[in-house]
Structure 1
Amino acid sequence: MIRKFEDLKVWQDARMFVNVVYNLTNSDVFRKDYGLKDQIQRASVSIMNNIAEGFERDNNKEFVKFLLYAKGSAGEVRSLLYIAYDLHYIAKEEFETALEQSLNIIKQISKFISYLKTKTN
């Protein structure tokens, strides 16, 4: 049973993804590009925080709204990963792994939104 946002698998995966993003951006090359580093880190944190904030609203309509924000942030991270890869800040394998993780989170969020839209408060 889900009693708190920490019980949600999608939030747990988003939390792990934040660590992936922070580890990817901990290199010297990212230290020289603070703007990109800051943007991708903030967007990754936004995913898990919007899931948590929406959950705490105790209202499916509000939760869906915040899940949509989280999904948008996950899309933003995906786009920023392409920039990091194109600029050779991250290796192809790192890029592909992070991209796959972001897509997984987006799919989970989409399914969760569909589920919540069928429920009433």
Structure 2
Amino acid sequence: MRKSYRIKKEAEFQDVFEHGQSVANRNFVIYQLKRDQPHFRVGISVGKKVGHTAVMRNQVKRYIRQSLLELKPRIDPQADFLVIARKPATRLTMAETKKNLIHALTLAGILADEVDVI
């Protein structure tokens, strides 16, 4: 994903975290804040409690980024959102990660409609 699609600054993370609405499922927590902008922005957080090794945390982040890239056309362009992984997310395959992310994003109202998972 290009840099313009990412939330990187701590102040922007905190703004979405403090003023946004949250929804969750077993594997992910989504914080969302609506803004007037040309495209969505996403921040991904996988803490040390989730995966004890950097390899594990980076794999979870790669799965999340790839899932979001595949869902990009269906994501609300006016959303700034954070995806925070929970501990069970380390045991998911790529397909399971995408399925769980679709569920969480649909609950948050970020995805336009239900998507078929392949």
Question: Structure 1 or 2: larger helix share?
Answer: 1
Question: Structure 1 or 2: larger strand share?
Answer: 2
Q: Is the TM value for this pair above 0.5?
A: no
Instruction: State the structure with bigger RCO (CA 8 A, min sep 6), 1 or 2.
Output: 2
> Scaled by the length of structure 1, what TM-score is found?
0.31
> Scaled by the length of structure 2, what TM-score is found?
0.31
